[in-house]
Structure 1
């Protein structure tokens, strides 16, 4: 059975910039292993549904709760890969930070965070499946929602 994790691709819109240059994504740098950059995510607890996991993990890892986020309808990405020889699947929803000035508060699992535009997010993320997910989020925002 595959390990299962859930999280959010979190973005904010900067009012002083014009679309699509006004969109920045939140990435967290792990404080362990290769110190990779990733959106907030974590493993599903027994009896917990996927969206509840994503919300809990985002609060734990970045200090951002449901009151800070607007989940974007219609966007859900599933990534499948192996970690130390075990199958893992990760679900990502897309969520907008309601107030772009809300502070991020990191847990001990992370040592740094950045708000970055798509190109920089893809450079930091390194893994192709995460780069593709970030690109899909940007495309969705530009086509389905309009970059506003």
Structure 2
């Protein structure tokens, strides 16, 4: 389900032990057949997760400096932030170090908070584990994924 670009990003988060939850279309696709291309992640800024996320984003920015959000520091991370990679059509390197194009629609959105009456710890406790290409991710439950999707749609209208 993940494209190579998304897989590399999740691996980067995993390397830095960032706590996150897969939400949005990818979570819905995991539970019910639904088309989606991008990967939405909820990474709260509680406790040490702010520093872990900042470190992972800084590392990603070093690897792919043209993909947007360069120079993210801990002080730049705040609630209600949405970080998008990539911001424009760019290239990345696949596992054989071959350059491949990636479009914003096939990228990643990281949300530091969500506009739903939902606590991250509770959502994680209801999440299911998903192993994809040797990466273990937490996927929002179907009920939470639908709730978050509705909240996001209401927020944007």
Q: Give the TM-score, by structure 1 length.
A: 0.32
Which is bigger in relative contact order (C-alpha 8 A, separation at least 6)? 1
Q: Which has the higher helix share?
A: 2
Q: Give the TM-score, by structure 2 length.
A: 0.30
